[in-house]
Amino acid sequence: MIKPSMLRSLHSAVSRGSSHLARRGYSSESTPERKVVVLGAAGGIGQPLSLLMKLNPLVSSLSLYDIAGTPGVAADVSHVNTRSEVVGYQGEGELGKALEGADVVIIPAGVPRKPGMTRDDLFNINAGIVKSLCTAISKYCPKALVNMISNPVNSTVPIAAEVFKKAGTYDEKRLFGVTTLDVVRAKTFYAGKAKVPVAEVNVPVIGGHAGITILPLFSQATPQANLDHDVIVALTKRTQDGGTEVVEAKAGKGSATLSMAYAGALFADACLKGLNGVPDVVECSFVQSNVTELPFFASKVRLGKNGVEEVLGLGSLSDFEKEGLEKLKPELLSSIEKGIKFANQ
């Protein structure tokens, strides 16, 4: 049963968002108009993500698109008494209208894993979905920031880049693979072992978003804690296998949806803050990069009015992390190349 105290906390979370804006020199009335589109809005991630974006006072227009089910999701979410206007769009015929004028497009469209599958096993279905959605983005909102959630992210981001290049609309500053869930997990797991308040924890996660390509840098974690090497090894493995932990626990009913919706909402909020000129917005993301020899790589990124303002370096790594970095490169490169090849077929 929902208690009045729960509703009061949710309402105060939304109000805290508004007072945070006020501290930054905005009022929700003077905050710029921002249209956010969710592609795959009726799915396991799409629905809670749509709700979280409806709670974000930086959003003025929320466009919810899916191949089916969006009228119901949009009607439901639209009753929440926050700033944004919500419109649902269903089926390919409405995709253009859904995308027009978008500032940020979030893509959680596609199939999730079942136990025993790798993220790469999703390639055959999701690559085509991402390719067609990105073709529409290049036509209807080529300037939007694209937040790619659909797996395998290590390949879907390169696919998106190739589609945009072919359409002549590619801007590397505007394309992001969402790896925030890896950071969210690393923070949670580290706080538990280090016995520090989770809200104060920061842990960069670099590389990509699959298995060993996910490399949390616990040597840079703050607040610092003197954890034994075997604890760091176990924390690293748990972060790398976090998605599988959820897939197995859901036992055939999909992969992370709620924690992913939270992570996706955090990352989209960071993009919106960057667009609005809020200084020093830094998040990890899988972007076009020259911090290593790989063409795409996740690392800390400073967000600004045009998307990526600066791809930050990796900082100093422990020997264990240096080893992890070298090990991940061949797998990450092969996933990137697979995406590029698919897009150019």
Ligand X SMILES: O=C(O)C[C@H](O)C(=O)O
Pick the binder of ligand X from 39, 144, 161, 256 (CB under 6 A).
256
Cα–Cα distance list, 264 to 45, 108, 184, 199, 334 (Å): 9, 9, 10, 18, 26
**In 3D, which of 206, 171, 184 has the Cα closest to residue 285?**
206
Q: Which is nearer to ligand X, 35 or 338 (CB)?
A: 338
Q: Segment contacting ligand X (CB under 6 A): 66-74, 111-119, 140-148, 190-198?
A: 111-119
Of these, 119, 131, 173, 238, which contacts ligand X (CB under 6 A)? 119
Assess 240 for contact with ligand X (CB under 6 A). no
Contact residues for ligand NAD (CB under 6 A)? 39-40, 42-46, 66-68, 108-113, 122, 126, 129, 133, 149-151, 153, 178, 181, 209, 254-257, 260
Instruction: Pick the closer one to ligand X by CB: 46 or 57.
Output: 46
Of 98 and 201, nearer to ligand NAD (C-beta) is 98
For residue 2, what are its two tokens?
């929902």
What is the spatial distance between Cα 227 and Cα 236, in angstroms, rounded to a whole number?
12
C-beta nearest to ligand NAD: residue: 43
Q: Does 243 bind ligand X (CB under 6 A)?
A: yes
Q: Catalytic annotation on 209?
A: yes
d(CA 101, CA 97): 9
The per-residue DSSP string of 241-306 comes to THHHHHHHHHTTS-S--HHHHHHHHHHHHHHHHHHTT-S-EEEEEEEE--SSSSSEEEEEEEEETT
Site for ligand X in 155-194 (CB under 6 A): 181
Using the 8-state DSSP alphabet, how is residue 113 labeled? P
Please identify which residue in 77, 102, 191, 246 interacts with ligand X, judged by CB under 6 A: 246
Between CA 321 and CA 324 the distance in angstroms is 5
In this structure, are strands 296-304 and 307-311 parallel, antiparallel, or unpaired?
A: antiparallel
| Residue 113 in the binding site for ligand X (CB under 6 A) | yes
Q: CB nearer to ligand NAD: give 181 or 311.
A: 181
Residue 247 engages ligand X in binding (rule: CB under 6 A): yes
Give the range of 37-45, 78-86, 242-250, 270-278 binding ligand X by CB under 6 A. Answer: 242-250
Q: Where are the beta strands (DSSP E) in the chain?
A: 35-39, 61-66, 85-90, 104-107, 145-148, 175-177, 205-207, 214-216, 281-288, 296-304, 307-311
Q: Count of residues binding ligand X (CB under 6 A)?
A: 11
Choosing from 20, 79, 209, 229, the catalytic residue is 209
Residue nearest to ligand X (CB): 243
* Interface positions with ligand X (CB under 6 A): 112-113, 119, 151, 181, 242-243, 246-247, 255-256
Active site residues: 209
